[in-house]
Structure 1
Amino acid sequence: MTVSKTTQTELIRVAHMLADAARPVTLAHFRSTGLAADNKDGTGFDPVTIADRGAEEAMRTVLADTRPDDAVLGEELGFKEGTSGFTWVLDPIDGTRGYISGTPTWGVLISVADQTGPLFGLIDQPYIAERFAGGFGVAEVHGPQGRSALHCRAPRPLAQATVLTTFPEVGTLQEGAAFRAVADQAQLTRYGMDCYAYALVAAGQVDLVIEAGLNAYDIQAPIAVIEAAGGIVTDWSGGPAHEGGRVIAAANRAIHAEAMAILQTAPDA
């Protein structure tokens, strides 16, 4: 879809309105000792809180007022059909486990997509007031140190690289083994970052994020931000990653290729 400059400006404006609407809802409950969490997963622990639901409701209210013809896909409230060709993909709190633990690495994920994937995205961290934006010629972060451009890190060997993921187990046993095959060759591996890991790729701080078992709302905003900053995001086969699943986000094509060569030869990856 060809998107006019006027429409691009409007979509960017609305995306920031959504982030502004979600921020106070998430902050109202963050580090509250009485915050309750329901479990969405009967076999494990997939928490959801009043903040998750409230933040998504606040964003959907903005969209109903400003972009009523657009479709909406949200983690907590599902899918709403649209007629415009645009879909807003919302994760009101990516990293709810971190949120209820009091760590500031969760974030609000907002993207707008067409049939080919995300066009513009935001990774917003309300507690430290840091917002990463990418798409339509924008690649910037605004936070406590002001506004600056986003640039992914220049190529360097995997042996010098930093690799991030959220869960040490990554996914299945086989997916975990494939991840460790890459991580074992990297200089540094860190865990537990949730969406903030992808922001760090766009900011030029780290080289790779490798994950599995993602949903569309987990990855579409990070794709837009990282690609705008010069990076690359694919699935483990090198194809599109905007529907989720197994995802590798890389600062540049060289480190992407080096990591992919290992992932694709790992047993059952």
Structure 2
Amino acid sequence: MTDLEAFALELATVAADVSLPHFRTDVSEINKAEPGSFDPVTEADQAAERALRAAIKARYPDHGIIGEEYGEENPDAEYVWILDPIDGTRAFISGLPLWTNLISLRHKGVPVIGVVGQPYIGEVFIGGPSGAWLVTRDGKAAIRTRKCAEVSQVVAATTDPDIFCGEDRQSWDRLKAAVRLARYGCDGYAYAMVAAGRIDVVLESELKVWDWSAVMPLVKAAGGDFTGWDGQMPTAADGRVLAVGNPALRDPILALLKV
């Protein structure tokens, strides 16, 4: 494991140590969405990101940082850490252990290391140059996607079908009708299950760069593929992403989306 991968695991511990004590407590929350919508942020989100930023600056002061809660610092640096301190805040405040700490390292614009940590369960998934791994209290084990090759046998996931609007919703409905099973509400944890060989496809839209940067290298290091809906690398301007466990599924599913 490279030094940067090892440091990413250290950051997972930092995020867990700060966020987990707030879970299933009466942690305060603020709705940062427009009236009529709900997009919560809690002290756990903010405290975890502050701790992550402090740890990065102490170890790698020349690296940039992009975080959901506190914005950008040196975003054009060669190395940039991208942070979603608690992905799935709605699950967090509901007491559901499907939220995660998302930590990514981008090199020259491309995410190359990704960490998905679930502190309550005690799981950390990491993907990078050394491969894809699940780290638990019992040790570290390599993980791989599964090679489901038939769309009709796919287990698919999205956080919430209501995130899809207009033609995007029609695309999701076609995919859902074509697969064996669809599951909802897992946020970033669904991509960890792709890497671990339990889910075959995740389709989402309206994502921000901190929502997908950690899961992209994890899925790819485990043997899968991760693209935008156009088949290219996702961009900050277009939050539509597709993760597939078997790269052979990518083109048939992209074709379904465009019908």
TM-score by length of 2: 0.95
Task: State the distance in 2 between where 1:137 and 1:248 align.
Answer: 23
Name which of 219, 222, 227 aligns with 1:229: 222
Q: Which residue number corresponds to residue 258 of structure 2?
A: 264
Q: How far did 1:262 drift? A: 0.4
Change (3 A) 1:54 1:208: same
Over 3 Å counting, the alpha-carbon distance change for 1:82 and 1:169 in structure 2 is closer
Partners of 1:117 and 1:242 within 8 A in 2: no
8 A contact 2:125–2:218 mirrored in 1: yes
How much has 1:192 moved relative to structure 2? 0.2
Pick one of 5, 8, 14 that aligns with 1:21.
Answer: 14
Pick one of 244, 251, 259 that aligns with 1:250: 244
Q: Which runs of 5+ in 1 are unaligned?
A: 1-7
> Which residue does the alignment assign to 1:42?
34
Quick one: which amino acid aligns to residue 248 of structure 1? L
With 131-140 and 194-203 compared, the bigger mean Cα shift is at 131-140
Tell me which residue corresponds to 1:3.
Answer: none
Give the structure 2 partner of residue 205 of structure 1.
Answer: 198
SS at match of 2:115: strand
How big is the shift at 1:242? 5.1
Give runs of ≥4 in structure 1 deviating > 2 Å: 143-147
What displacement does 1:99 show? 0.4
Distance between the aligned counterparts of 2:44 and 2:132, measured in 1? 28
Relative to 1, partners in 2 of residues 1:252 and 1:242: Cα closer, same or farther, differing over 3 Å? farther
Quick one: structure 1 residues 84 and 260, their matched pair in 2 at CA, closer, same or farther if it must change by over 3 Å?
closer
1:16-46 deviation digits (Å, cap 9, x = unpaired):
12111111211111001x2221011113100
1:81 equivalent in structure 2: 74
Q: Specify the SS of the correspondent of 2:111.
A: strand
SS in 2 for 1:169: helix
Count of aligned positions:
257
Gap change, CA 1:158 and 1:113, over 3 Å in 2: same
Deviations 1:62-99 (A, max 9, x none): 01110110000000000001675100000000000000
Secondary structure at 2:223's aligned position in 1? coil
141-150 vs 103-112, greater mean Cα deviation: 141-150
Distance in 2 separating the partners of 1:101 and 1:242: 31
Cα deviation for residue 198 of structure 1 reads 0.2
SS at match of 2:96: coil
Which amino acid in structure 1 is aligned with residue 33 of structure 2?
Answer: D
| Alpha-carbon offset, residue 158 of structure 1 | 1.0
Partner of 1:92: 85
Unaligned runs of 5+ in 2: none
CA deviation map 1:189-218 (0-9, x unaligned): 000000000000000001100000001100
Contact 2:27–2:44 under 8 Å retained in 1: no
**SS of the residue aligned with 1:213?**
coil
Structure 2 residue 208 is matched with structure 1 residue 215: yes
The 2-side partners of 1:249 and 1:207 are apart by 8
Partner Cα distance (2:74, 2:65) in 1: 7
Partner Cα separation in structure 2 for residue 233 and residue 83 of structure 1: 23
Paired letter, 1:257? D
In 2, the alpha carbon distance for the partners of 1:124 and 1:75 equals 16
Matched, 1:31 2:24: yes
Equivalent residues of 1:233, 1:249 under 8 A apart: yes
Aligned alpha-carbon RMSD (Å): 1.5
Separation in 2 of the partners of 1:142 and 1:40?
33
Q: Deviation at 1:176?
A: 1.4
CA contact (8 A) 1:88 1:112 kept: yes
Whichever residue aligns with residue 26 of structure 1, its letter is S
